[in-house]
Chains A and B, each alone.
Chain A
Amino acid sequence: MSDANPKITIEPAAENALIIYFSSSPSPKTTHLIQSLKQGLQDSLDHKLIDLVPSFASLLVQYHTELTDHFEIKAAINCVWERVNTTSQNASAGKKVTLPVYYALETGPDLPTIAQQSGLSVSDVIQLHSSQEYLVYSIGFAPGFAYLGEVDARIATPRLATPRASVPKGSVGIADQQTAVYPASSPGGWNIIGKCPVDLFNMNKSPTMPYIVGDTVRFEAIDKETFLSLGGTL
Chain B
Amino acid sequence: MFNETIDNEQIQIILNDILEVYGYDFLEYSHASIKRRITRLFSLDKFVSFAEFRYTIKNDKQYFKRFLEEITVNVTEMFRDPSFYRALRNDVLPTLGTYPFIRIWVAGCSTGEEAFSLAIVLKELNLLHKSLIYATDINPAVLEKAKKGLFSLNHLKQYSENYLQAEGTNDFSNYYIANYSLAKFDQALTSKMIFSTHNLVSDHSFNEFQLIMCRNVLIYFDKDLQHKVFNLFDNSIEKLGYLALGSKESLDFWPKIKDYKRVKTEKIWRKL
Q: Do A and B come from one complex?
A: no
